[in-house]
Amino acid sequence: MKNNRIKNIEKKVLSDNWYILNKYTYEYQKDDGSWETQQREAYDRGNGAAILLYNKKKGTIVLTKQFRMPTYVNGNEDGMMVEVCAGLLDGLNPEECIKKEVEEETGYQIDRVRKVFESYMSPGSVTEILYFFVGEYKEKMRVNEGGGAEDETENIEVLELDFESAMGMIASGEIRDAKSIMLLQYAKIHQLLGQ
């Protein structure tokens, strides 16, 4: 940490039930040189990785569909979310993590992935940085049905969609998950699936 305008950082754990909610109190030096005390809560659930699985020949991509409680309590009618495959690092490096998640959630065993960018997803409240990948899948790489890890009570449906229909689902509001929109737009801009 290298910001001379921040000092005396104190951390108080507000909740450590599943992930950790911390309250930070610190002094911040304003433009006029004076110091003020600030407080910010930061939810720490670790970092994550996400991937767009695509098949250039077929013009298709693989997405997941699952119930997301935080969206259900905030206007998402049935709580179901269509998302790219993603998961928390859980001690692995981003590349190892995403390959493991791809196999667990979608059933594909892929050997090559390419990192395309990284992003803080909600910098005002969540500590998480997310690493973004793209990777090609082929039918012969399917080793199981996917669906998510049993011990994590994940119930994930695997969707194989035409790339252009998925782009249409952003416009229609059927896809409204930030990491998924970012990767789909990356694929469009860089013509990953051709024109």
Ligand X SMILES: Nc1nc2c(ncn2[C@@H]2O[C@H](COP(=O)(O)OP(=O)(O)O[C@H]3O[C@H](CO)[C@@H](O)[C@H](O)[C@@H]3O)[C@@H](O)[C@H]2O)c(=O)[nH]1
Q: How far apart are CA 51 and CA 143, in angstroms?
A: 18
Question: Is 145 labelled a binding residue?
Answer: no
Measured from the CB atom, the residue of 50 and 62 that comes closer to ligand X is: 50
Neighbours of 141 (CB within 10 A): 18
Instruction: Decide: 84 and 51 in contact? Cβ < 8 Å.
Output: yes
Check binding of 87 to Mg ion (CB under 5 A): yes
Check binding of 107 to Mg ion (CB under 5 A): no
Number of residues that bind ligand X (CB under 6 A): 13
Which stretch in 86-94, 107-115, 163-171, 181-189 sits in contact with ligand X by CB under 6 A? 86-94
Measured from the CB atom, the residue of 9 and 14 that comes closer to ligand X is: 14
Burial class (CB in 10 A: 0-12, 13-18, 19+), 43: middle
Chain residues binding ligand X by CB under 6 A are 18, 48, 50, 86-88, 101, 128, 130, 152-154, 179
Binding-site residues for Mg(2+) sit at 86, 101, 105, 152
